[in-house]
Amino acid sequence: MNEERLLKHLVLLMFFIFILDILARQFYWYYSVWYFDILMHFLSGFWVGLFFLYAFYSRNIFSKKSLTVILYVLVIGILWEVFEFYVHNYMGQDPFNTLDTITDIFLDLLGGVSAVWYFSKRIMLQSKDGPWGNSL
């Protein structure tokens, strides 16, 4: 695996998400562009997936890395939704919306699955058995 290349992708994507979030808050894109939240959840899930792939693969922690990464993306997505729930209740913003929460978690997972695919097809050096042998 080319760890330097993966780290470069992680840092660039993190700054891209950060800049998008700043612009979205400045220009009210979260409220005026209906799909912007969808894009941000997908990108965030993708970033979290790449982060855990980097952390697990570089240290060779788990044998079934792809499933473990997806589960970690799910946990982070659920924790983020719990955080949003408490912030919205504390600030008196929009009431809790179950469909939005489920959609957000699904998009986080879709981003994580895309990160696993991207990692295996673009980041890893191609070998005969694939990036993780037969464990993927």
Q: Which of 75, 79, 133 is closest to 109 using CA atoms?
A: 75
> What pLDDT sits at residue 55?
87
**Cβ contact 53:80 at 8 Å:** no
Contact 5, 123 (CB under 8 A): yes
65 close to 123: Cβ distance less than 8 angstroms: no
The letter for the amino acid at 121 is K
pLDDT in tens, the chain (136 residues): 577 888 898 999 999 999 999 999 999 999 899 899 999 999 999 999 999 988 887 666 555 678 889 999 999 999 999 998 888 777 766 667 788 889 999 999 999 999 998 888 877 644 344 444 444 4
Measured distance CA(82)–CA(70) in Å, rounded = 18
Per domain, the residue ranges of the chain are: 3-123
Tell me if 68 sits within 8 A of 56, measured CB to CB: yes
pTM over 0.85: no
